[in-house]
A and B are shown apart, each in its own frame.
Chain A
Amino acid sequence: MSSQVRFTDFKSDKQPTWCPGCGDFGTMNGMMKALAETGNDPDNTFVVAGIGCSGKIGTYMHSYAIHGVHGRALPVGAGVKMANPDLEVMVAGGDGDGYSIGAGHFVHAVRRNVDMSYVVMDNRIYGLTKGQASPTSREDFETSTTPEGPQQPPVNPLALALASGATFIAQSFSSDALRHQEIVRQAIEHDGFGFVNVFSPCVTFNDVDTYDYFRDSLVDLGEEDYDPTDREAAKEKVLDADKEYMGVLYQDEESQSYEQTHGLDSNMSDIDHEGAPEGAMDLVREFY
C-alpha cells in the first residue's frame, strides 16, 4: 500500500475549524507530506495530539490517533510506540500543552528517546482559550491575563531539550512549506526522539510573533555552514539571545532509541495463547 500513498490519504473528511490564516494549516500539511514521503500510510501511523487549537490536528488527519488530555500526549505516544514498534508514531501539540502543563513530560520524553517525532506548534500564545500568555510568550507581551506582560523570561524549549539530552532538535516555520516538510521528515527518520519546534503563528491573538516577524528574523541553518552533529555549536545556537534559527540544530548520529536499548521489537497486541502463557506455572513455583 505504501508506495501509492499520497499525502491527502492522511486528510480526514473533517474541515478544519482553525481561523483562516492560522499557521497550523501549514504545519499539518508538512506533517502529512513528510509521513507520506517516508513511506507511511494511515493504517500504520499513530498520531497523538494534545489539547489546544494545535491539538485539533488529530481530528483533521486520518490515521490511528488519540486526542489526549491537556499536556500528556508525550507519554501516550511513548506507550503506543513501546507496545507496537512497527507503528510510526507522531505526537503534536502546542507550546502551552508541551512546555507548560506538559513540561515535565517533555523533559522525560527527551531523556527516554523513544523513536517518535514530536511537533510543537509554537504560536507563543494560548489560542484555544482565547489569548492568554504561554510559556514561550515574550516577557513584555500583553495578554488578557498578563496586562503588563508575563514579566518572566520565556521557556527556551531548544535549550531545555539539549540540556535534557535530546538526540534531535530542530526548529521550523509553518509557512516555509518545503523546509518545514524536510525538517519534519528528518525528525521522523531520526532513530529516537525527533523534536521539532514549529513557529506556527496565531493570526487571531498574537500580533507580535507574526508571519512577517518570523520571515524577517529566522536564520536558516541550511544556508549556513553548520554541522548539526556538533553539540558545542548547538549549545551556542540554542542559547543565542539575538537570533532564532530554522533547521536541524542538533542531531546525535549515534542515537539509539529506547526500543533498541530495551530490546523492544514485538507487537504487544499479539497474545498467542488462550490461557496463561507457557511457563507461567514457574512463576508459582518461585514462591515455594
Chain B
Amino acid sequence: MPADFNWAIGGEAGDGIDSTGKIFAQALSRAGRHVFTSKDFASRIRGGYTAYKVRTSTEKVRSVVDRLDVLVALTPRTIEENLDELHEGSVIIYDGERTTMADVEIPDGMIGLDVPLKSLAEDAGGAIMRNVVALGAACEATNFDIEHLDSSLKKRFGDKGQALVDNNKQAARLGQEYVQEEYSDIEFDYDLETTDNDYVLLNGDEAIGMGAIAAGCKYYAGYPITPATDVMTYLKGRIENFGGHVVQAEDELAAINLALGAARAGARSMTATSGPGIDLMTETFGLVATSETPLVIVDVMRSGPSTGMPTKQEQGDLNMMLYGGHGEIPRFVVAPTTVDECFWKTVEAFNLAEKYQTPVYLAADLAMAVTEQTFEPDAFDMDAVEIDRGKVVDEDTIEDHQTESGGFKPHELTEDGVSPRAFPGTEGGAHMSTGLEHDEQGRRTEDTEMRVKQVDKRNRKVETAREREDFSPREFGNPESDNLVVTWGSNEGTLVEALEFLEEEDIDVRILSVPYLFPRPDLTEEFEAADEVVVVECNATGQFADVVEHDTLQRVKRVNKYNGVQFKADELADDIKETLAPDEGQEVEA
C-alpha cells in the first residue's frame, strides 16, 4: 500500500469546491507527489452537496479509497456525508463563525480545527478567498510546504494580475499561521513530503482532447452534455492553434452530421457525447458506417437510462456501442482504461478509423473523464505519436481504382475489405456516398449479389483488423493464478490497487483489462486455464460478462456496481474475495 494521504473539501455547489480542490491537487503535483482526484457532485449548479477528493502519495496512486485524513468542511453535511471515511485522528477544518457551522460537533477522536476562514480572508483582501485560507490551514496540518501552494495559486490567478496572486498567498499564510498559533499544542501526524519529480496533472476528457490534437484532428462538433463537455472546452481555444475548428452544434444530430461532413471532406473529425447523445446519433452512425467514413465518436458514459443520474458513474452503454443502430454495422469500440490511455487510445482511434474507414467508438466513463491523475510528462510523448491515414489516393494513383469509363470506386471490393479513399477536390474522384446499399462506385443498388458483396466487404474489415492489429488485453497480478479477474474501462486502476488488499489476505489473482471491446481479444484460453473467472464492471446486468460468456462459452461470476459511484479499491477487494469464496449457504451462479 503506498503511504497515501487523503484530503477532501466539501460544501454546497457554488462554494468553489472544484477550483479549490484543483488548486490543492496541483500544488501536490508541483511538489512532486502523485495525485488521484475524484469528484462527488450533484447535478445542479448551486446548492446540493459537492466534494472534491484528493488522494496523494509519493508513489503512483490509481484509485480512490474509503478513507479521509483531512477534510475541509464548509457545511455540516460535508461531515455527515463523509463520516464513514473519517477515522480517529482525522482532521476537520471548519469555520465556526459561519452560521451553519456554529453548532457543528466534531466526532469523537477527531481533531477539529475551527478557523475563521471568512474573517481571515477578508483581512487578506476579500471573503471570496476563504477556501484558500482553508488550504493554508491544511498545509499546516499536513506539514506541507506552503510554497508549492503559492506556485499553484500563481498558475491559477497569474493571468488576473500579481495583486490577486499576492492576496491569495496572503490568505493562505493567514490560515497557516492561525493553526500554528491557536493549535500549537497539536502534533500533526501527517507529513506530505515533496520530491523532485515533475508531474503533469490532467483528467480523461482533457487527455482525449489532447490526443485528438496530437492525432491531427482538425474538426470537432459537439453539443454540451455532462460528463463529455470538457472535451469540447479543452479543444476550444487550443485546436485553433493547430489549424482546427470547434463547433457547438444545435444538437447531437447536427453534431455527428457536421463531423461526418468534415470527415467526408477529408479532415480528421470527432464528436463527443454521453449516452443520451449517442441515442440521437445512432441513425447517422449507420450512415457513417455504410458510407465508410472514418469518424471518432466519444461516449463518456454516465448513469442511464434516459437522463438517469447525469453526474454519476456507470458503464451502461456497452451494448449500445456494440450493437446500436438498425441493421448490422461493423465498427470499432475502444475503451481506454486510464487517463493516459485516454490520450493514446484517442490517437489510435483516429488511425483505426482511417485505416479501416469505419466509425470508432471511444468508450470512456465519467469516473475517468473527471478524474485528474498525475503522470510523468513522457506518458504523453508526442514523438511516439504516429499517424496512419490509410488508403488515400491522389491524382496519380486514382487511375488504378477507376472503372473503364473513368468512374472512381470508393467501395471497391478488395481482399482486405478496405477501399481507396479520394478526398474531394481530387481530380477524377468525384463520387457519391450514401446510406443506401451501393455498388463499387457508390451508386444505389438492390442487386442481390452486390448487396452480399458489399456487406461482406464491410464486415471483412473486422477480420483484417483482427489479423493486423494487436488487441491484447493489459495484464496485471499473478499470471499463474487460478483466479482470473476481467474488467474494462476505468476499473483497471482500482483493480490494480485492490491486488494489494487481496495479497494481504493471501488471495492471488490474475487481472485482464480489456481495452478493445470490438473487435476484442479471444479470451477462451485464459478462461479455460482459470478455475474462476470474475468480471468486474459498473453496470447492473453485466454487459461485458454476457459478451465474454458468449465468446468463450463459459459461465463467469460477476461483480457489478451501479449505485452511481465508482469502485473503491478496498471495497472491490472485498467484493472479489466474496465472489471467489462465497459464504457458505449462499447461492452462486455457477
Instruction: Give the B-binding residues of A (Cβ under 8 A).
Output: 1, 12-14, 42-46, 48, 58-59, 62-69, 72, 74-84, 86-87, 104-105, 107-108, 262, 264, 266-269, 271, 273-277, 279-281, 283-285, 287-288
Contact = CB atoms under 8 A, between A and B. Distances in A.
Contacts of A271: 216, 218, 268, 387, 389
Interface string B238-256: 1001111101011101110
A274 B387 contact: yes
A83 B257 contact: no
B443 A14 contact: yes
Given A66-B434, A79-B265, A275-B383, A87 B424 contact: yes
A267 B264 CA distance: 12
A83 B387 contact: no
A269 B198 CA distance: 36
B269 A83 contact: yes
Contact of B218 (A58, A69, A83): A83
A276 B381 CA distance: 9
A83 B427 contact: no
Interface residues of B, number: 74
A83 B263 CA distance: 8
23 contacts: A43-B426, A43-B429, A46-B264, A48-B261, A69-B435, A76-B261, A78-B258, A79-B261, A79-B263, A79-B269, A82-B219, A83-B265, A83-B266, A84-B424, A86-B425, A87-B424, A268-B243, A271-B387, A274-B387, A275-B387, A277-B242, A284-B380, A287-B202
A252 B507 CA distance: 75
Contact of B377 (A1, A65, A66, A285): A285
A275 B200 contact: no
A77 B283 CA distance: 17
Contacts of A66: 260-261, 264, 291, 432-434
Contact of A275 (B254, B386, B389, B407): B386
Interface stretch (B3-11, B69-77, B206-214, B469-477): B206-214
B431 interface: yes
Contact of A67 (B214, B255, B435): B435
Nearest to B347: A276
A41 to B, nearest CB: 9
B485 interface: no
Nearest to B241: A279
Contact of A79 (B200, B215, B219, B431): B219
A160 to B, nearest CB: 15
Interface string B419-444: 00001111111111111100000011
B259 interface: yes
Given A65-B432, A262-B245, 20 more contacts: A14-B443, A14-B444, A46-B265, A64-B264, A65-B430, A68-B284, A74-B257, A75-B254, A75-B261, A76-B260, A76-B264, A78-B261, A79-B221, A80-B262, A84-B266, A268-B262, A268-B268, A269-B425, A276-B382, A284-B200
Contact of A283 (B214, B250, B284, B386): B214
B385 interface: yes
Contacts of B138: none
B246 to A, nearest CB: 10
A43 B431 CA distance: 9
Interface string B356-390: 00000000000000000000010010111111010
Given A12-B432, A67-B432, A275 B382 contact: yes
B266 A267 contact: yes
Contacts of B312: none
Contacts of B266: 83-84, 267-269
A3 B405 CA distance: 22
B430 A268 contact: no
Contacts of A86: 425
A210 B398 CA distance: 46
Contacts of B199: 288
Contacts of B173: none
Residue from the set A13, A83, A105 with the largest chain B CB neighbour count within 10 Å = A83
B361 to A, nearest CB: 18
Given A80-B264, A83-B266, A84-B266, A266 B243 contact: yes
A129 to B, nearest CB: 15
B423 A269 contact: yes
Contacts of B436: 67
B267 interface: yes
A272 B214 CA distance: 12
A45 B431 CA distance: 10
A44 B427 CA distance: 8
A173 to B, nearest CB: 27
Q: What are the 9 A-B residue pairs with the smallest beta carbon separation, nearest first?
A: A79-B261, A269-B266, A268-B267, A83-B262, A287-B200, A75-B257, A83-B265, A67-B434, A268-B218
Contacts of A285: 200, 377
A58 B432 contact: yes
